[in-house]
Amino acid sequence: MKSFFYSVWETIEIGIIAIIAVLVIRNFLIQPFLVSGASMEPTFSSGDYLLIDELSYKLRQPERGEVIVFRYPGDESTFYIKRIIGLPGDTILFKDGKAYISNKDNPKGFVLDEKYISAGVMTTGKDFTLPAGQYFVMGDNRSYSFDSRSWGSVKSDEVIGLVRLRLWPFNKVLAVEKPAY
């Protein structure tokens, strides 16, 4: 009888440790995200299941080109997925269907070489200068993306994390990397 209770207690201990481990991982390190909508096509499609890295941005600042999940500034209970185009201090200019970035390191500006958007897609919007601690984000499907061009910048404390991995669908499993501009 003593060995039975010992076995039950061991099972309970393992269960408690597993639950604590899952809660720590889920709340502080990795979070699942299900894409809803077409704003990130062709990179991500509606129904894609992603893993979000919540730790990286506690150790460093977001970088241009990274795909992030954040709380929508108009409704903190809604989560969006977009690509970072502008960093704090940047001015984003739109001309000839392209996005240009001007900042202290590049006062004359440079055009973003956006290989992740479909050929022929034009990027339009109003010029925008970012204050400290804020990011300009856009969807890869520019014609169908509700993004910073419509509602402004994303504050750093609204950023949940960095998209690291697409797990579903299985035939499209992908480790996500930022583009080199």
Confidence (pTM): 0.79
How many angstroms separate the CA atoms of 126 and 124, rounded? 7
Of the residues 39, 102, 145, 148, only one is catalytic, namely: 39
Of the residues 2, 46, 77, 82, only one is catalytic, namely: 82
Architecture in CATH of 31-175: Ribbon (2.10)
pLDDT band for position 134 (cuts 50, 70, 90)? very high
Which residues have a Cβ under 8 Å from the Cβ of 154 and sit 6 or more positions away?
Answer: 68, 70, 73, 82, 134, 135, 136, 137, 148
pLDDT digits 0-9 by tens, 78-98 = 899 999 999 999 999 999 888
For the chain, the domains span 31-175
Residue 82 is a catalytic residue = yes
pLDDT digits 0-9 by tens, 20-61 = 776 666 666 678 887 888 888 888 888 898 989 888 888 899
